Amino acid sequence: MGVRLIVVGAQWGDEGKGKVVDLLAETFDVVARYQGGHNAGHTVRVNGVERVFHLLPSAILHPGKICVLGNGMVINPKAFNDEIGEINCDGRLFVSDRAHLIMPWHKELERARSCYGKDGIGTTQRGIGPAYVSKSARTGYRICDVAGQFGDLWARLRKDLQEANEELLDHNVGPLPGTCLNDFHGEVQQLKPFVADTSLLINKAIRKGKSVLFEGAQGTMLDIDHGTYPYVTSSNTAAGGACTGIGVAPTLITGTIGVVKAYTTRVGGGPFPTELDDNIGAYLQKRGREVGASTGRTRRCGWFDAVVVRQAIMLNNFNALALTKLDVLDDLPGIKVCVGYLLDGSESCQIPARTEDLARCQPVWQTVPGWLTSTRGITHFSKLPYQAQKYIRLIEELCDVPVKIVSTGPERNETIVRRNVEPFGWMDDIQVGKVAVA
Ligand code: IMP
């Protein structure tokens, strides 16, 4: 049986999942996304050339890999067609017939409803939330609904457009023209050749012994159920979402890997206990090039928060961690790690359920010396400066999960795979210098 591995972000997204998935993809037959839509921004850099994927699995550049967009995703057909562009993905890219569509009015409604704006959740404004609202309200459009002749569907589309326009007018936003439905129809026609029953496809592949990598988008703290609600995305980003978002049984999952940045970032609104509003925050932002890959927004930066990562470990039961952007900390003389929270005079190691309470949490710090030397491009753990090794060991100790992969730069080959660290013996075969990209 091949390995069935879920890769999940352990913080608020942007942990570097694109690079980790790209690295692991070589050893997998199928790579599947299970939630979200083109709100994601997965950056892959090979030989100095950077590609950002919003909708397609990061493995699409690997020739011959089967790539799947699962039923748990919301698909904007135009974004899908634009992203494929020149990539040769014939016969190996499949979109679930049960995935919901982001309709032309979803983005406009999101822009009009103030709760999503920059003084509220601060969403990516791609229509993700309203599309999931339609899904839950059971008024959405699945890909299978539009995959045949439009026929009677035109009447339903016109009625829904009219209703959306009425709401837009209530918000003093100009109505969408009827031609948006013709454009939508055109985009859907282009999407059709990729539509498949992807749950069936993946379950068949698993039965044949193929390996499957489930690629999470966003991060655990943005999970609609377990994240910092309401400052979350509208899907289940945590590992459980992979089973429902693809249609595979939990008993078929081999394990999970958590991707975690050596510090913390978050985009949009919401509490962030270790946030740095000082020159160190500005340094992390600049040195780490912390600008949203989807929206171009500056990411908020702060120290590593072990409370957040431990919560993600509990929710996802990570077998191993991939630690990214270690090199960003190279020039700092001292590094802080949040090891607990102080709330109303009591120390806690848990994330409180109420967002207002999380906003009041004060971090309990542990400060460690920096290493003040470059780790950029180091590929062996033993070659890391002693204090950097100690920092990684501290994270392992606080999280009680081994750090199996360490990223020391954006390039694919700027990576350490710790070959003598369990689990996942098969990962020892990963050749970090190997570039087999289309
Ligand atoms: P939405 O997913 O566009 O509805 O945005 C909801 C929240 O999730 C906002 O705070 C976004 O900034 C955040 N978010 C959505 N996608 C990403 C991502 O790929 N990385 C980081 N944050 C994200």
Give residue-wise pLDDT tens across range 277-318. 999 999 999 999 999 877 888 999 999 999 999 999 999 999
Give the pLDDT confidence score for residue 292 in this predicted structure.
84
- Looking at the fold, whether 264 and 395 belong to one and the same domain comes out as yes
* Residue 42 alpha carbon, nearest atom of ligand 1: 19
Cis bond upstream, residue 333 (ω within 30):
no
Give residue-wise pLDDT tens across range 115-135. 777 778 999 999 999 999 999
Instruction: Output the domain CATH number for residue 127.
Output: 1.10.300.10
Give the pLDDT confidence score for residue 434 in this predicted structure.
52
Going by CA atoms, what residue is nearest to atom 1 of ligand 1? 123
Helix (H) or strand (E) holding 5: strand 4-9
pLDDT < 70 positions in the chain:
429-438
- Looking at the fold, whether 27 and 116 belong to one and the same domain comes out as no
Is 23's C-beta closer than 6 angstroms to any atom of ligand 1? no
- Looking at the fold, whether 272 and 409 belong to one and the same domain comes out as yes
- Looking at the fold, whether 412 and 390 belong to one and the same domain comes out as yes
Q: Show which of 193, 216, 231 is a domain's final residue.
A: 193
Place of tokens 């045949």: 148
- Looking at the fold, whether 219 and 173 belong to one and the same domain comes out as no
Alpha-carbon distance of 384 to 157, in angstroms, equals 59
Instruction: Output the domain CATH number for residue 18.
Output: 3.90.170.10
- Does 206 reside within a domain? yes
How remote is the CA of residue 111 from the centroid of ligand 1, in Å? 14
Going by CA atoms, what residue is nearest to atom 11 of ligand 1? 123
Is 220's C-beta closer than 6 angstroms to any atom of ligand 1? no
How remote is the CA of residue 104 from the centroid of ligand 1, in Å? 20
- Does 417 reside within a domain? yes
Is 268's C-beta closer than 6 angstroms to any atom of ligand 1? yes
How remote is the CA of residue 419 from the centroid of ligand 1, in Å? 34
Is 8's C-beta closer than 6 angstroms to any atom of ligand 1? no
- Looking at the fold, whether 123 and 143 belong to one and the same domain comes out as yes
* Residue 36 alpha carbon, nearest atom of ligand 1: 2
Helix (H) or strand (E) holding 125: none
- Give the Å distances, CA to CA, from 318 to 7, 222, 350: 9, 17, 18
- Does 117 reside within a domain? yes
Going by CA atoms, what residue is nearest to atom 5 of ligand 1? 123
Residue 190 corresponds to which amino acid? Answer: Q
Alpha-carbon distance of 267 to 388, in angstroms, equals 27
Is 117's C-beta closer than 6 angstroms to any atom of ligand 1? no
Q: Which of 215, 223, 233, 297 to mutate to test the pocket of ligand 1 (most atoms within 8 A of CB)?
A: 233
- Does 87 reside within a domain? no
- Looking at the fold, whether 140 and 249 belong to one and the same domain comes out as no
Is 39's C-beta closer than 6 angstroms to any atom of ligand 1? yes
How remote is the CA of residue 118 from the centroid of ligand 1, in Å? 12
Q: Show which of 177, 193, 209 is a domain's final residue.
A: 193
Q: Give the pTM.
A: 0.95
- Does 88 reside within a domain? no
Q: Which of 116, 218, 224, 236 to mutate to test the pocket of ligand 1 (most atoms within 8 A of CB)?
A: 218
Q: Show which of 193, 216, 250 is a domain's final residue.
A: 193
Alpha-carbon distance of 210 to 203, in angstroms, equals 10
Catalytic site positions:
14, 42
- Looking at the fold, whether 173 and 213 belong to one and the same domain comes out as no
* Residue 125 alpha carbon, nearest atom of ligand 1: 3
Give the pLDDT confidence score for residue 436 in this predicted structure.
38
- Looking at the fold, whether 429 and 305 belong to one and the same domain comes out as yes
Task: Name the domain count of the chain.
Answer: 2
Q: Quick one: tokens of 347?
A: 């120390």
Question: Are residues 25 and 59 in contact, defined by beta-carbon separation less than 8 angstroms?
Answer: yes
Alpha-carbon distance of 52 to 54, in angstroms, equals 7
Is 129's C-beta closer than 6 angstroms to any atom of ligand 1? yes
- Does 174 reside within a domain? yes
The Cα diameter of the chain in Å comes to: 68
Quote the domain boundaries for residue 336: 4-76+197-436
The bridge status of strand 362-369 relative to strand 334-343 is antiparallel
- Looking at the fold, whether 130 and 163 belong to one and the same domain comes out as yes
The bridge status of strand 334-343 relative to strand 304-305 is parallel
- Looking at the fold, whether 313 and 385 belong to one and the same domain comes out as yes
Question: Are residues 300 and 277 in contact, defined by beta-carbon separation less than 8 angstroms?
Answer: no
Alpha-carbon distance of 137 to 150, in angstroms, equals 22
What angle do helix axes 77-84 and 179-191 make, rounded to 10 degrees?
50
- Does 54 reside within a domain? yes
DSSP 288: T
- Looking at the fold, whether 260 and 350 belong to one and the same domain comes out as yes
- Does 276 reside within a domain? yes
How remote is the CA of residue 125 from the centroid of ligand 1, in Å? 9
